[in-house]
Amino acid sequence: MSDAESPSEFDPVAPNTGEEFEPVDVFPDSDDFDLRPGADSCYKCSTCDTNCPVAEVDDDFPGPKFQGPEQWRLKQSDDDHDVDDSVMDCSNCMRCDNACPSGVPLSQMHNTARGEYVSEQMDKLSVEYVRNRILANYRTSAFFASKVPRLANAAMNFGPARWLMEKTLGVTSERDFPEFATQTFREWWADRGGQAQSRENARAARERRGLPADADKKVAYFHGCYSNYNTPEVGKAMVRVYEAFGYEVVAPKQKCSGTPMFANGMLDDARRHAETNVSSMADLVEEGYHAIASCTSCSMALRQEYPELFDIDGIDEVAENTFEAVEYLRIHEDLREEVREAEVDGDLAEEFAYHAPCHSRNQGLDRQAVELFRDLDGVDVEDVGDSCSGISGTYGWKEEKYEKSMAIGEEMFEHMDHAAGETGMTECPTCAMQMEHGSGYEIRHPLELLEAALVE
């Protein structure tokens, strides 16, 4: 018998509902996340495996069912059980979460296992660890590069330097580094007058719309690293669209959402950044703000990974009050009608080949852009299918994973090629890199299209 207490007179044949029955607490008072109930919910239907973009192209990868519930079962019965090193081949697309009919927290299990593997089993002096740590901390590199954007752009794509990076660090030289903007989003925001200016713009818009001047419309923008350092036009579009609907925007202090850190098992780094983000967002949420992200991996991190992996004051409140930028407007405004009445001409009157990022799926947002823009005059948005782009953040930047990443992306490239337009669209910055890399198309964000449609 285990040390679990069993009820004294339990006869499995006779009903015992009338008697006092205490459910058994098998692992009382553990501080670790107990993932056993999740593992127990798995009935091995393998639906998660059919969603895994890695297992589809790499038969050395044992798939999400193994990485999740099976590994946790082994660990539960054997304290010395090591995490299998194949967990590093999981790209953290999190598609398996959306697949499980039994609610098994697969990505939480993968993230936890990967964190344990990196902290306990990985050699901290290995090239792989150093490389992964650098890639995961993209924000740090971007921060320095943004101080000298032109020099950084030239240096980062300088052939011999890239050759050296591949040979010494294992960062593929096949890809072009994304360009750093000459003015970051935050610099633009500050130049423009910050919150005060936004308040003024929002008031003017409310007046135009016949809304009360003091309407309680305010949001906190989590722009993330990429719209700050690389694509500030996405951040600007977010601000202008929200202000046009009468929302006052604030851009609170923030660090990396943690997505690349989860994917590389760097949970301590992720926690440090999460603490900053949660602390600044939680205060605003308390004042009635909602947190809005334009990157679907950032919104996914704040909504799902934070409460699943960390225990930080206010973390649940932040998760409950975080939304993706277009989603929030769909809920709170008659966005569909406004889009239906609008028309786009000029630069963005295009046919777009749209790819839904994996991280938009668990949030139920994978069809949002296609459905919303269906009624917009002057543009056509065509879905390029439900495959994964294959880059999965830092994954496709690793020299040893580059080929796999491109094999996963092949289906998307083909569909992009067949789509009518030659401009791409997606919410995710790294999917955008992959789309551009595989097709040569310019890639835009749905917020930019919304800005073109709704903001004069």
Partner 1 sequence: MAIESEVLVVGGGLAGLTGALAAAREGADVRLVSYKQSTLRQASGLVDVLGYTPDGAGPLTDPFEAIPSLPDAHPYRKVGVHTVREALSLFDEAVPTYEGGHTDANALLPTHGGTVKPTARYPAGASAGLASDARDTLLVGIEEMVDFDAPHVAAHLDAAGVPFDVRGETIRFPGDLRADAKVTRYAKLLDTDSEVAVRGRMVPAREALAQRVNPLLEDEERVGFPAILGDDNPGEIRAELSDRLGVDVFEVPMGPPSLPGLRLEDALFSALDEAGASIETGNPVVDFEGEDRIERVFIEKNGAKIPNSADQYVLATGGFVGKGVESDREGVYEPVFDCHVPHASDRYDWFEGDLFGDHEFARYGVATDDDLRPLDASEHSEFENLRAAGSVLGGYDFAAEKSGSGVSIATGYAAGQRAAQEAR
Q: Which residues bind partner 1 (CB under 8 A)?
A: 15, 17, 45-47, 49-52, 55-57, 59-60, 62-63, 98-101, 303-304, 307, 316, 319-323, 330-334, 336, 361-364, 366-367, 371, 374, 383, 410-411
- Strands (E) in 187-288, as ranges, are 218-222, 248-250
| Closer residue to partner 1 in complex, CB, 361/401 | 361
Residue 411 to residues 112, 185, 351, 401, 426, Cα–Cα distance (Å): 30, 33, 19, 17, 16
The per-residue DSSP string of 364-429 comes to T-TTHHHHHHTT-BT-EEEE--S---S-TTTGGGBGGGHHHHHHHHHHHHHHHHHSS-SEEE-S-H
Calculate the dihedral angle through the C-alpha atoms of 308, 310, 311, 314, rounding to the nearest 10 degrees: -80
Asked whether 261 and 135 are in contact (CB, 8 A), the reply is no
Strand partners of residue 171: 398
H or E, element range at 110: helix 106-116
Q: Shortest approach of partner 1 to residue 136 CB, angstroms? A: 23
Q: Shortest approach of partner 1 to residue 208 CB, angstroms? A: 19
| Closer residue to partner 1 in complex, CB, 199/374 | 374
Angle between helices 127-136 and 138-145 (to 10 degrees): 60
Q: Shortest approach of partner 1 to residue 46 CB, angstroms? A: 5
Q: Which residues contact 365 (CB under 8 A, 6 or more apart)?
A: 296, 324, 326, 327, 356, 427
- Strands (E) in 254-398, as ranges, are 290-293, 322-324, 351-354, 380-383
Listed residue (301, 139, 327) closest to 219, CA to CA: 327
| Closer residue to partner 1 in complex, CB, 69/149 | 69
| Closer residue to partner 1 in complex, CB, 12/28 | 12
Asked whether 293 and 224 are in contact (CB, 8 A), the reply is yes
Backbone region of residue 44 per phi and psi (left: phi > 0; alpha: psi in -120 to 50; beta: other values): left
Q: Shortest approach of partner 1 to residue 15 CB, angstroms? A: 6
Q: Shortest approach of partner 1 to residue 356 CB, angstroms? A: 11
CA–CA gap between residue 295 and residue 239 (Å, rounded) = 14
CA–CA gap between residue 282 and residue 287 (Å, rounded) = 9
Asked whether 452 and 346 are in contact (CB, 8 A), the reply is yes
Listed residue (132, 96, 175) closest to 262, CA to CA: 132
Q: Shortest approach of partner 1 to residue 47 CB, angstroms? A: 5
Q: Shortest approach of partner 1 to residue 446 CB, angstroms? A: 16
Q: Shortest approach of partner 1 to residue 33 CB, angstroms? A: 16
Q: Shortest approach of partner 1 to residue 243 CB, angstroms? A: 19
CA–CA gap between residue 122 and residue 267 (Å, rounded) = 13
Q: Shortest approach of partner 1 to residue 397 CB, angstroms? A: 23
The phi and psi torsions of 212 (rounded to 5 degrees) equal -60, 140
Asked whether 396 and 405 are in contact (CB, 8 A), the reply is yes
Asked whether 39 and 68 are in contact (CB, 8 A), the reply is yes
Q: Shortest approach of partner 1 to residue 337 CB, angstroms? A: 10
